[in-house]
Amino acid sequence: GENVEQHPSTLSVQEGDSAVIKCTYSDSASNYFPWYKQELGKRPQLIIDIRSNVGEKKDQRIAVTLNKTAKHFSLHITETQPEDSAVYFCAASPTGNQFYFGTGTSLTVIP
């Protein structure tokens, strides 16, 4: 099956700086890559996603890039704010029904 690796496991940045989280996947059949944000004690919520026919997608301060050849995708958060502090999960889906998540990155934004 698919194997998704996520780095780093923890990340601390100063408010206003950028944060980058990286994921790699193993199954070349994966074609859908969502990112979920989970605040402490809350449920995961989608923040951005990308499909394999697109190399980059942006939504305000958040962007995701995908390199299919290298099988890796990254989340970029610019101008970080304290409310960005949370655990972020990447995921890969080869079928649209099976989802394989990374182990999560705990992001702390220091005011």
Q: Is 102 helix (H, G, I), strand (E, B) or coil?
A: coil
Q: Does 106 bind other proteins (CB under 8 A)?
A: no
Interface mask toward other proteins for 70-89; x: CB under 8 A? -------------------x
Residue 83, amino acid: E
The residue within the footprint of other proteins, chosen from 19, 93, 107, 109 (CB under 8 A), is 93
Q: Does 102 bind other proteins (CB under 8 A)?
A: yes
Q: How far is the CB of 27 from other proteins (least distance, A)?
A: 12
The residue within the footprint of other proteins, chosen from 36, 77, 84, 85 (CB under 8 A), is 36
The set of residues, in sequence order, having a beta carbon less than 8 Å from that of 103 and lying 6+ positions away, is 5, 6, 9
Q: Of 58 and 110, which has the nearer Cβ to other proteins?
A: 58
- Give the distance, in angstroms, between the CA of residue 91 and the centroid of all CA atoms in the same chain: 7
The residue within the footprint of other proteins, chosen from 45, 58, 61, 110 (CB under 8 A), is 45
Q: How far is CA 18 from CA 11, 39, 74, 79, 100, in A?
A: 11, 19, 13, 6, 26
The set of residues, in sequence order, having a beta carbon less than 8 Å from that of 42 and lying 6+ positions away, is none
Q: Does 100 bind other proteins (CB under 8 A)?
A: yes
**Residues that bind other proteins in the complex, under the rule CB under 8 A:** 1, 6, 9, 32, 34, 36, 42-46, 49, 89, 91, 93, 95-104
